[in-house]
A and B are shown apart, each in its own frame.
Chain A
Amino acid sequence: MASINQLVAVSLGYVAFLFAIAFFAERAAVRGRGGWLRSPLVYTLSLSIYCTAWTFYGAVGYAARSGMEFVTIYLGPSLVMIGWWWALRKLVRIGRVHRATSVADLISARYGKSNLLASVVTVMAVIGVTPYIALQLQSVTLSLSIFSPPETAGSLNQFQAAFWVAFGLAIFTVLFGTRNLNANERHDGVVIAIAVEAVVKLVALLAVGIFVVWGIAGGIGPMMDRIDSSPIGEWNMDRSRWVALTALSAAAFLALPRMFQVMVVENEDERHLQIASWAFPLYLMLMSLFVVPIAVIGLDLLPAGSNPDLFVLTVPLAEGRVGLATLSFLGGFSSATSMVIVATLALSTMVSNHVVMPVWLNARAEGAQVSGDVRDVVILSRRASILMIIGLGYLYYRFSGGGAALAAIGLISFVGVAQFLPAMFGGIFWRGATRWGALAGLLVGFAVWVFCSLLPSFGPGTVLSVATFDGGLWGLGWLRPQALFGIEGIDPTVHAVVWSLTLNITAFVAVSLVTFPDPLERLQGAQFVNVFDHSTQARGWDAALATSEDLMIMSQRILGADEAQRLFRAEANRQGMPGQLPEPTQGFLQHLERELAASVGAATAHAMISQLVGGASVSVQDLMAVADESAQILEYSNQLEAKSAELTQTAGKLREANEKLTALSVQKDAFLSQISHELRTPMTSIRSFSEILRDTEGLGQVEKTKYASIIHGEAIRLTRLLDDLLDLSVLENGQVNLNLETGKLGDVLEQAVMATQAGPSGALTIRRRHVNEGVMLSTDLDRLSQVFINLISNAQKYCDADAPRLDIDVRDGAGRTEVAFHDNGTPIAAEAHALIFEKFARLNDQDGSGAGLGLAICREIMTRLGGDITYHAEAAGNTFVVHLPAQAA
């Protein structure tokens, strides 16, 4: 037998080793060489705090009592991990995005950062987990007592031993758990210590198992035979317990505060979860692989009445393997201590953030604007919480006397924390879950748990009277703690699980359905449920009211001066004003709130900032504004685009107009020069001949008459020119009055031909086809006739063929009537086509008789009449086509 002193020395050495490892890990992390601390392996091993002393010792005891039932406790978590994609992925993402520090923080953040909810969850967690901590203390002292020689049984004071174990654990947790305030920063020392402990407990249990199977039973085959011939050699599983316990362990795995701590808070990289999804089930499988063999051999070897919870120790001891037994003791010790450390850490964060800090802040009139360093207060409160929780565990152990079987306490605790699950899952999967629903569910579930699971565990006649057990609370038969609603015969644990969770979910859903969440709650709900769609920030602060100085002072108190200054400097750089305090923008306030939340929890951080910023809350209008913002931006950009297109169009039009104006100006200059030229030529000749008549003596009558005729002719030409100009001007200005008449096209043509042939005409032959000339017109016939006359006289003047000929052809079709004037003269040069309808466009200057206004006038007239006149070049000759207005035809 190893002396108890040797064992204590080994334990102390082991503890010193853990302290050293934690210390070096912290130092490596500080120096930035802590990459290996954040490997998936360490993450997986840290999850092993699920396997407490309950697993290490209790599983074997459990198997010795109920066969394979123990395995349900590991099947549930295995399924949760294998199915990480469904729930854990979302939980970890939400925990990281919203920087949740604990289960209570997560639930409170989801339901509108309600501190009431957070404190309820905290109180429930403390009540649910404290017995579990007591259980760990009990297991350590119980295992120590095995080693103490029977004759000196009194030498080991169990309570004293438990006290020193609790004291040591408290020191470790305070030292490594509150080193950095920000709960979102990893506790590298703690994590590496529990990873090492995870390896130790696995190795210890595997060593005992291998020794039992190969050392005692003599191989797998003989072992299986011994199992089958043992008292637990037949399958005798209560079916409802098989299902209920698997489900319960799955639920507890998700909801246990310590599991949340290692799984979500200490998670460094979401990809680690993917590896842990199969690596952790592997760990659990290995942990339970040898449980039944050890139990069977223990039942076989050890005298009846031995405590089966300690077979892991007593079997090696009975075989004289002190070294193995010591290793096994260290395994159990590791299981107990790692659980206590992490559970205490998680609970102390919750107690400090959701109970102590709010109370402390409320107690001080000045609220967040206290003098002094809040950081110290937070750390102090967290340390006090650690001591308080371990102290509570110790007291529970002390007063419960350490009697009940380990597994029973473990299951009771599981049922208690499983009550968080509906609020948690409802919160992350259902947007309709409300704060009051969550509160109702939690309280109902908790009440049922206390009544059906916690209080009955003390046994009839202790807390609950025998009368209550048999006749129900207040004599109401349907309120019996193990037969609610009169349904008897259910296994007590299954009874507690089913009723507490059913009533919890019912209350949660029912109250959620009838209550209405406030805007902040709805916003948080949307962000939690749709965490993969958008990781946008919560909105809530009216930044104008907060001053940067106040925020800086407050942040320094909570985050510490260095951290706060770093944060503010980074923000100032981001805002583009390095060296100054950043503007308290919305985004910055939200960022700051999250940073603070990582230290003091979401609800407290929210409360502190709201004290500085003023009673800022999110109104529905705000939310709608947020939603509208993007729509507005989109609309604005569309408007800009449209405006820009419009401007481009306008600019184009202006350029066009400018070109037109320039062209018009050129045209005007040309017109003026043309007209002065046109006027000067006859004027010059009139002046010259009138001077001759006046000054020359002795002119003969014949000469006088000749010169006077020339003057007369030139005057007539001038008059005609002026008439034409006047006519054109009148037409162009639209001042012309159309004299509408009805007549036959043939008559108009006839009149025009007659008019042109009245004068001293040349030898122009006019050929007309009278086929379509019967068309009746309703238009200004005189003006139309003017156009025809102009065209005919043009042909008379300019047709240079030997036998000049003009074909006048009326085409009538498709509702339009056209009159074509085709001559056989020289075709007009191609470059002149565009000019012939312009004013003063004279093609050949050799003949000065025309002013070049005729065709321009024709076009103006036709435009006025609603028709048109066009020119078509022909192989031989020219064709002018007069398009008569459609309505006139």
Chain B
Amino acid sequence: MTEQGPPPIFLERRSYRRRRMMDALRLLPVVGVLLWLLPMFWPKASDGPAAPAPLAMSDAIVYVFCVWVALIAGGAALWWALRPPNGDGPEDPAREDR
């Protein structure tokens, strides 16, 4: 049975960067949810004549797809950054739970 000391409080720069990127990975879906919740507040056609003019469909499409592309790009970038150094190493960034 190996005795392990308490985990170190401060990490070297690379591990620190890696952990923060794991944080970013975890936050990415939250950002996605918030951005895609925004259309809830857009003015719409059936709000009545007093309401502001409804959003044009083309703008709505551009917004939704831009968020989509940004999330995909973010996910891909984080995956790229968090890849284990060698392609088939057993290391799994997801295991770093701390």
A residues with a Cβ closer than 8 A to B are 67-68, 71, 75, 78-83, 85-86, 89, 224-225, 227-228, 230, 232-237, 239, 242-243, 246, 270-271, 274-275, 277-279, 281-282, 285, 289, 292, 532, 634, 637
List residues of chain B with CB within 8 A of the CB of A246.
Answer: 36
- Closest beta carbon of chain B to A195's beta carbon, Å: 20
List residues of chain B with CB within 8 A of the CB of A271.
Answer: 92
List residues of chain A with CB within 8 A of the CB of B60.
Answer: 67-68, 235
Contact of B25 among A85, A239, A634 (CB under 8 A): A85
B25 touches A234 (CB 8 A): no
Report the Cα distance A742→B9, complex, angstroms.
72
B97 touches A532 (CB 8 A): yes
Report the Cα distance A242→B64, complex, angstroms.
12
B57 touches A275 (CB 8 A): no
A243 touches B40 (CB 8 A): yes
List residues of chain B with CB within 8 A of the CB of A80.
Answer: 29
- Closest beta carbon of chain A to B26's beta carbon, Å: 5
Contacts A79-B29, A224-B58 known; A89 to B94 CB distance under 8 Å? yes
Interface of A is mostly: helix
Report the Cα distance A78→B1, complex, angstroms.
44
Contact of A79 among B36, B43, B94 (CB under 8 A): B36
A233 touches B56 (CB 8 A): yes
B79 touches A278 (CB 8 A): yes
Report the Cα distance A282→B74, complex, angstroms.
12
Report the Cα distance A235→B56, complex, angstroms.
6
Contact of B79 among A234, A270, A275, A637 (CB under 8 A): A275
B32 touches A82 (CB 8 A): yes
Report the Cα distance A285→B71, complex, angstroms.
11
Report the Cα distance A214→B94, complex, angstroms.
43
B29 touches A68 (CB 8 A): no
Contact of A234 among B26, B37, B45 (CB under 8 A): B45
* B33 sits at the interface (CB 8 A): yes
A235 touches B57 (CB 8 A): yes
Contacts A85-B26, A234-B45, A236-B45 known; A282 to B72 CB distance under 8 Å? yes
B28 touches A234 (CB 8 A): no
Contacts A83-B28, A243-B37 known; A67 to B75 CB distance under 8 Å? no
Contacts A67-B57, A68-B60, A82-B32 known; A242 to B40 CB distance under 8 Å? yes
- A228, A237, A242: which has the most chain B beta carbons within 10 Å? A237
A234 touches B57 (CB 8 A): yes
A285 touches B58 (CB 8 A): no
- Closest beta carbon of chain A to B72's beta carbon, Å: 5
A75 touches B57 (CB 8 A): no
Within 8 A of A (CB), among B1-58: 1, 22, 25-26, 28-30, 32-33, 36-37, 39-40, 42-46, 54-58
Could you name 5 residue pairs across A and B whose Cβ atoms are closer than 8 Å?
A82-B32, A83-B26, A235-B54, A235-B59, A281-B68
List residues of chain A with CB within 8 A of the CB of B75.
Answer: 81-82, 277-278, 281
List residues of chain A with CB within 8 A of the CB of B97.
Answer: 532
Contact of A232 among B28, B33, B57, B74 (CB under 8 A): B57
List residues of chain A with CB within 8 A of the CB of B65.
Answer: 285, 289
B58 touches A228 (CB 8 A): yes
- Closest beta carbon of chain A to B75's beta carbon, Å: 3
B95 touches A532 (CB 8 A): yes
List residues of chain B with CB within 8 A of the CB of A637.
Answer: 1
A234 touches B92 (CB 8 A): no
Contacts A79-B32, A277-B79, A278-B75 known; A85 to B55 CB distance under 8 Å? no
List residues of chain A with CB within 8 A of the CB of B92.
Answer: 270-271
Contact of A281 among B22, B43, B57, B72 (CB under 8 A): B72
- Closest beta carbon of chain B to A800's beta carbon, Å: 68
A82 touches B28 (CB 8 A): yes
- Closest beta carbon of chain A to B79's beta carbon, Å: 5
Contacts A239-B40, A274-B94 known; A82 to B76 CB distance under 8 Å? no
Report the Cα distance A68→B39, complex, angstroms.
11
A234 touches B55 (CB 8 A): yes
B79 touches A285 (CB 8 A): no
- Closest beta carbon of chain B to A283's beta carbon, Å: 10
- B33, B59, B93: which has the most chain A beta carbons within 10 Å? B33
Interface of B is mostly: helix
Give the B interface residue count (CB, 8 A).
Answer: 43
Within 8 A of A (CB), among B72-98: 72-76, 79, 82, 92-95, 97
Known: A82-B72, A85-B26, A285-B69. 13 other contacts (CB 8 A): A68-B61, A78-B68, A79-B33, A83-B28, A86-B29, A230-B57, A232-B57, A236-B54, A239-B44, A274-B79, A278-B76, A292-B57, A292-B61
- Closest beta carbon of chain A to B1's beta carbon, Å: 7
Residue of B nearest to A225 (CB): B58
B44 touches A236 (CB 8 A): yes
List residues of chain A with CB within 8 A of the CB of B56.
Answer: 228, 233-235
A86 touches B26 (CB 8 A): yes
- Closest beta carbon of chain B to A197's beta carbon, Å: 22
Residue of A nearest to B75 (CB): A278
List residues of chain A with CB within 8 A of the CB of B64.
Answer: 68, 71, 75
Report the Cα distance A435→B94, complex, angstroms.
30
B95 touches A236 (CB 8 A): no
- Closest beta carbon of chain B to A634's beta carbon, Å: 7
Residue of A nearest to B80 (CB): A278
- Shortest 3 CB-CB distances between A and B: which pairs? A83-B29, A278-B75, A235-B55
Report the Cα distance A279→B80, complex, angstroms.
12
List residues of chain A with CB within 8 A of the CB of B43.
Answer: 235
Residue of A nearest to B61 (CB): A292
- Closest beta carbon of chain A to B39's beta carbon, Å: 6
List residues of chain B with CB within 8 A of the CB of A278.
Answer: 72-76, 79
- Closest beta carbon of chain B to A230's beta carbon, Å: 8
List residues of chain B with CB within 8 A of the CB of A277.
Answer: 75, 79
List residues of chain A with CB within 8 A of the CB of B44.
Answer: 234-237, 239
List residues of chain A with CB within 8 A of the CB of B37.
Answer: 243
Report the Cα distance A637→B2, complex, angstroms.
13
Residue of B nearest to A289 (CB): B65
Residue of A nearest to B79 (CB): A274
List residues of chain B with CB within 8 A of the CB of A242.
Answer: 39-40
List residues of chain B with CB within 8 A of the CB of A224.
Answer: 58, 61
Report the Cα distance A53→B91, complex, angstroms.
39
Residue of B nearest to A75 (CB): B36
- Closest beta carbon of chain B to A144's beta carbon, Å: 32
- Closest beta carbon of chain B to A788's beta carbon, Å: 63
Report the Cα distance A243→B41, complex, angstroms.
12
Report the Cα distance A79→B37, complex, angstroms.
12
Report the Cα distance A232→B61, complex, angstroms.
12
List residues of chain B with CB within 8 A of the CB of A285.
Answer: 65, 68-69, 72
Residue of A nearest to B64 (CB): A71
Report the Cα distance A712→B72, complex, angstroms.
124
List residues of chain B with CB within 8 A of the CB of A270.
Answer: 92, 94
Contacts A82-B75, A236-B44, A281-B68 known; A68 to B26 CB distance under 8 Å? no
- A75, A233, A246, A292: which has the most chain B beta carbons within 10 Å? A75
Report the Cα distance A558→B50, complex, angstroms.
71
List residues of chain A with CB within 8 A of the CB of B94.
Answer: 85, 89, 270, 274
Residue of A nearest to B53 (CB): A234
- Closest beta carbon of chain B to A80's beta carbon, Å: 8
Report the Cα distance A270→B59, complex, angstroms.
38
List residues of chain B with CB within 8 A of the CB of A89.
Answer: 94
Report the Cα distance A697→B39, complex, angstroms.
151
A82 touches B71 (CB 8 A): yes
- Closest beta carbon of chain B to A587's beta carbon, Å: 20
- Closest beta carbon of chain B to A502's beta carbon, Å: 20
Contacts A79-B29, A83-B29, A281-B71 known; A227 to B40 CB distance under 8 Å? no
List residues of chain B with CB within 8 A of the CB of A83.
Answer: 26, 28-30, 32
B54 touches A227 (CB 8 A): no
Residue of A nearest to B87 (CB): A271
List residues of chain B with CB within 8 A of the CB of A81.
Answer: 75
Contact of A227 among B25, B26, B58 (CB under 8 A): B58
- Closest beta carbon of chain B to A189's beta carbon, Å: 25
Report the Cα distance A232→B97, complex, angstroms.
46
